[in-house]
Amino acid sequence: MNIRSTEMGLNKEALDSNGNTASSNPSAAADRAPVRGRGARFDGKAVLITGAAKGMGKRTAGDLLSEGAKVVICDVDHRALALTVEEFEALGGSVRGFVCDVSQREEVDRLVGYTVSEYGGLDILINNAGILIPGSIEETSDEIIRNTLDINVKGVLYAIRAVTPIMKSQGYGRIINVSSITGKNGDNSSCFAYGASKGALISLTRSVARQLGPFGITCNAIAPHAVMTAMMSYWSEEKKQQIAEKIPVRRLGTEQDMSNLMRFLASDEASFITGETVNINGGYYMD
């Protein structure tokens, strides 16, 4: 199993909370991102995805593997990361795991260096790692502000800065940032620091697109809303239903919806799209 820590290799067999290996754990098997032969749109492309041990990062990684990509996934959760790498390896494809806290510049630099050493380059960067700590303005502590900005903004800055010379030397690159509708529209209840961090990514995406466009590098963001991931686990069933009723397509978003959009933006078909923050929310917010 290919798992690398910023300090040491982690090669022991991954176990779940019940002591089962991923391959013997039915719930883990059921949650596997599909790795199937669906063509080779990303054949040979080297991909780095942050925050990809679970959720839409994991789903996107699995889909990219199924289309021929070589993928490094990183996460701070080494246990979940080990399980995900084991799942993907069992299904085929070239995948590596790297334990990394994206708020730490040195760790991000090592992560990018590891990706290049394993795959000989880096074609696609997906900045998916992020945190959401609910709280109104009065409830948001200095620590929440610091942690949110460190991970959601500084982590993205560190990763983009680290991959820039590599992509420029290749004359090719795709950078995708995960923003949010709260970064465009704000939030009136519980996402004070989170909304600020996601708004910053929209401006950052435009700046990177302008600076790196002449080198064959595109940079885009996605702005999801109401996507059912672990980050939204604090929503009650009643709230989920209330939100779905306000969405024109009358449903919540899925991890697969997010993967579909991110893979399009990472593809050659999207080579004339850059600097954009694409809404993906079933029509909840339109601009």
Respond yes or no: is residue 194 known to be catalytic. Answer: yes
Kind and range of the H or E run holding 88: helix 78-91
The single residue of 114, 119, 158, 194 carrying the catalytic annotation is 194
Instruction: Please list, in sequence order, all residues whose beta carbon lies within 8 angstroms of the beta carbon of residue 115, skipping any fewer than 6 positions away.
Output: 46, 48, 72, 96, 98, 122
**Backbone dihedral angles phi then psi of residue 176, each to the nearest 5 degrees:** -130, 125
The tokens of 158 are what?
Answer: 């560190």
Query: If we measure between CA atoms, which residue out of 261, 172, 265 comes closest to residue 213?
Result: 172
Question: Can you give the chain as a three-state secondary structure string?
Answer: CCEEECCCECCCCCECCCCCEHHHCHHHHHCCCCCCCCCCCCCCCEEEEECCCCHHHHHHHHHHHHCCCEEEEEECCHHHHHHHHHHHHHHCCEEEEEECCCCCHHHHHHHHHHHHHHHCCCCEEEECCCCCCCECCCCCCHHHHHHHHHHHHHHHHHHHHHHHHHHHHHCCEEEEEECCCHHHHCCCCCEHHHHHHHHHHHHHHHHHHHHHHHHCEEEEEEEECCECCHHHCCCCHHHHHHHHHHCCCCCCECHHHHHHHHHHHHCHHHCCCCCCEEEECCCCCCC
Active site residues: 194
